[in-house]
Structure 1
Amino acid sequence: MNFAKNQLSQSLLPASGCPLHYWQQKNRYYYEDLERLLRFFLPPGLRILEIGCGTGALLNALRPSFGVGIDQDAEVIDQAQQQFPHLHFRLQDLHRLDKRDPILAQPFDAILLVNTLSYLRDIQQVLEQLRCFCTPRTRLILSHHNPLWEPLLNLATLLKQRRPLPAANWLSAADVANLLHLAGYEVIQQGKRLLLPRRIPLLSTLVNRVIAPLPGINALCLTEYTIARLQPDPNWDPPPEKQPSCTVIIPARNEAGNIRRCVEQLPEMGSRTEILFVEGHSSDDTWAEIQRVQAEYQGIRPIQALRQEGKGKGDAVRQGFAAARGDVVIILDADLTVQAEDLPKFFRAVASGRCDFANGCRLIYPLKPEAMPRLNQWANRFFAALLSYILGIRVKDTLCGTKALWREDYWQIAKLRQEWGNFDPFGDFDLLLGAAKRTLKILDIPVRYFPRTYGRSNIHHLRDGLRLLQICGFALKHFKGS
């Protein structure tokens, strides 16, 4: 942290020993929770820069492939370098970083400001200079104390339970979002956690994992965090041949009457558009129709045809991703209740960098009852609101099957199945939850939703509603209870 903070704590301890280390050990439960939060979002092996790194313990705990810590306290930096010789530490003014330092020559995957914003004299200046260490894929992660805790933290300082600190910037989540916007960033996620910052056997676990995530009570938590990225280029518009390629995955079960329409209505996108049908154990002649259309369009449009090995839409989507060759991958339901003509909106949102994950939203435009009954609409809104709260993002329609993302991001999400298992039979929620955990920028893409013209829905309302509740419970456990 900064020099002023360290000087204030020097008088509380003998010359031997590190004051900052002492306070970190005294409040170990709090610092362990910060570490747990960051390890949830940041997998090992990243290039990480920490601004206000202190002892370097947090940076080391994240197991970066290349880690750099910068602080203004010479004594702390020396101790950090001795304790963690495999990391790189620099003594610099946080408001005037040395951009010529070779150690900072390459951009980073993540930049951390953990409890640093509160003690900067010019937050916007620091955020602006960090832009040169970012790519569009870099994630800026910031944490600070909830302003509601100011009286309690001041009391803890008086009782010598907390390190004495200079006057702080008590920032709300809205303040942080505004500062990020002014400095050229946009917010991906925001959240709060940790209601009881001291370890009390059983009680701390109950309070922080069960009670703290509850709506209303969550607003009282101590730690606030924000994940952000650079604002995208608003002028993105290269010629098609210089744009990414695209694969459209179309899971199809008992959709023989829609196959030809899928191909006929699907626009060309980017430098190349591949169509990939995954047929799922149909009882009609869907597979034969796919083969007929594929043969008819041979040499005209690239069409792959796969027969599903497992069961369920989720399995079909995963099989499609495994075979996809495009840079941007889009999922389109074969029933065409979302029109193929809307897919360029998804492609451009991802390819331009406006988002990393484009999520279809059917709840903007008017809906006919035969397309989506009123009860279904309210159920969709309920599950969307619940998951938005749990994930710390805004998603208006979590049940729309039309989604788009970079293929490389999909494979990072797919790795989570080793940790999470195949909890999602729909093929939508492991993508959505995985995108949130991988800190992808998620945006809703409004689409018009039409009644089916062929076949019937495969949805079973009671069974699938119970499954959705189970998925929400799974998300709550991993995102709010971790």
Structure 2
Amino acid sequence: MTHPLHYWRQKNRYYHEDLERLHRFFVPPGLRILEIGSGTGSLLNALQPSFGVGIDWDAEIVAQAQRQFPHLHFRVQDAHTLDKQDPILAEPFDVILLVNTLGYLADVQQVLERLRRFCTPRTRLILSYHNPLWEPLLSLATVLKQRMPLPAANWLSAGDVANLLHLAGYEVIQQGKRLLLPRRIPLLSTLINRFIAPLPGINALCLTEYTIARPQPDPAWDPPLEEQPSCTVVIPARNEAGNIRRCVQQLPEMGSRTEIIFVEGHSSDDTWAEIQRVQDEYQGIRTIQALRQEGKGKGDAVRKGFAAASGDVLIILDADLTVQAEELPKFFRAVASGRCDFANGCRLVYPLKPEAMPRLNQWANRFFAALLSHILGIRIKDSLCGTKALWREDYWQIAKLRQEWGDFDPFGDFDLLLGAAKRTLKILDIPVRYFPRTYGRSNIQHVRDGLRLLQICAFALSRFKGS
């Protein structure tokens, strides 16, 4: 006999298909996945795990899921008492899912605390749940037999979930809402859910809320230098001959080894020759590579430098030194210690001189940061600072997205930020002081580049809110 859950899933297929799209967006195939409250197993199967385990309290639905998806592993267990005695739970997981499960747990904090034993520092928890504003509508849907009858639920807000995660030893990476019309109505559902639901204000009314979290890092990280990760600093340089030597002189050694890669980009001054002179002068003292750019744009230069990098942690330093090289250890330690996966420079904390960043530029930066924060579901105060840091292994996961997204960003800032958000990396702003140039002129063209940034934000909106 087919379990009633199959009937209700089919009746509300449009809603469940949207849940699948949401999770497929954040979870690439080939990971080890544990799902708490796995139900029919359809979502777990849709994510194409290399090793998938589903836990549910209902023996009948577990048996049917195991028959339907024999390549996955389903168990009847109570999430409150889950342990590693079962061999399939002996190894940690890359992703742990709780999809519409939090509302029916007797003790949410206890379950979240228990799940830590199945985590590594890189594990991601993805929790989805109903917006409490929908409680009256969903209760009515149950009365009208449009929704499966369920026991009394915990109606948790995003703030409640964030607080419970913090108490259980996790930190939130990002939160979001989606799906304003959970039934398929030709044309209307697409119009409302893709174009109206993402709008500020209206987005707060959406049915599905989600939170992505990770285990809190060890605050006491301070190993000896030889045990720390290595580091590569990539310095794109176009018409920056007067700053090359200062870049090397001011750049501190970081971690177990620091590599410097200059990427020269079609300069009309003496930049390339100066890079070669400095490289020769520091031979045997500093590890310096010198590359010439075939393509155009800072983003292309950064990608070329990252492709040649050997360090564990990758850092971008603009050759104009408007952000000082002495600031880079803050970025290195933030990533190497695990406090974040992606360190994003923020120039909008300390006072700014008008000659460093005119008032109009400041407001433009704040606008694009606020817009991107809304789209990505994370807090970013400065989306356009060129100084950033991340793990090399994470960069290559971001780089794979170009096969799907293409090279949409000539600047390199949004390319990395969007990729980091999609790969569920923990992003933190690193406040830095921003100084006027002492050599050369800015390569920014305000009107042209502003229009490009708007196009990039539209692209991000289509991927993150319209997927």
CA RMSD of aligned residues (A): 0.4
Cα deviation 1:429-462 (Å, max 9, x = unaligned) = 1100000000000000000000000000000000
C-alpha displacement at 1:93, in angstroms? 1.1
Matches within 5 A, 1:377-392: 377-392=362-377
Query: Match for 2:298 among 313, 317, 341?
Result: 313
Match for 1:431: what amino acid? L
Query: Match for 1:124 among 88, 91, 109?
Result: 109
Residue in 2 that maps onto 1:4: none
Match for 2:128: what amino acid? S
**In 2: Cα distance, 1:100 partner to 1:303 partner:** 51
Matches within 5 A, 1:85-100: 85-100=70-85
Which 4+ stretches in 1 moved above 4 angstroms?
none
Residue in 1 that maps onto 2:182: 197
Matches within 5 A, 1:391-410: 391-410=376-395
Matches within 5 A, 1:68-467: 68-467=53-452
Aligned-partner SS, 2:33: strand
**In 1: Cα distance, 2:422 partner to 2:39 partner:** 26
Does 1:469 pair with 2:424? no
Cα deviation 1:374-409 (Å, max 9, x = unaligned) = 000000000000000000000000000000000000
C-alpha displacement at 1:98, in angstroms? 2.9
Query: Match for 1:55 among 35, 40, 45?
Result: 40
CA contact (8 A) 1:255 1:334 kept: yes
**In 2: Cα distance, 1:464 partner to 1:479 partner:** 22
Match for 2:393: what amino acid? E
**In 1: Cα distance, 2:20 partner to 2:46 partner:** 7
**In 1: Cα distance, 2:25 partner to 2:335 partner:** 24
Q: Which runs of 5+ in 1 are unaligned?
A: 1-15
**In 2: Cα distance, 1:344 partner to 1:97 partner:** 41
C-alpha displacement at 1:261, in angstroms? 0.1
**In 1: Cα distance, 2:466 partner to 2:258 partner:** 41
C-alpha displacement at 1:309, in angstroms? 1.1
Cα deviation 1:137-170 (Å, max 9, x = unaligned) = 1000000000000000000000000000100000
Match for 2:238: what amino acid? R
C-alpha displacement at 1:18, in angstroms? 1.5
Q: Which runs of 5+ in 2 are unaligned?
A: none
Match for 1:266: what amino acid? L
Cα deviation 1:231-262 (Å, max 9, x = unaligned) = 00000000111000000000000000000000
CA contact (8 A) 1:308 1:316 kept: yes
Aligned-partner SS, 1:430: helix
CA contact (8 A) 1:72 1:91 kept: yes
**In 1: Cα distance, 2:339 partner to 2:419 partner:** 19
Aligned-partner SS, 2:75: strand
Residue in 2 that maps onto 1:5: none
Q: Percent identity?
A: 88
CA contact (8 A) 1:173 1:224 kept: yes
Aligned-partner SS, 2:133: helix
TM-score normalised to structure 2 length: 1.00
CA contact (8 A) 1:92 1:98 kept: no
Match for 1:146: what amino acid? N
Aligned-partner SS, 1:244: coil
Residue in 2 that maps onto 1:44: 29
Match for 1:344: what amino acid? P
C-alpha displacement at 1:17, in angstroms? 2.1
Aligned-partner SS, 1:295: helix
CA contact (8 A) 1:360 1:400 kept: yes
**In 1: Cα distance, 2:331 partner to 2:83 partner:** 40
Match for 1:272: what amino acid? R
**In 2: Cα distance, 1:393 partner to 1:27 partner:** 30
Aligned-partner SS, 2:79: coil
In the comparison of the two structures, how many residue pairs are matched? 467
Match for 1:173: what amino acid? A
**In 2: Cα distance, 1:127 partner to 1:142 partner:** 11
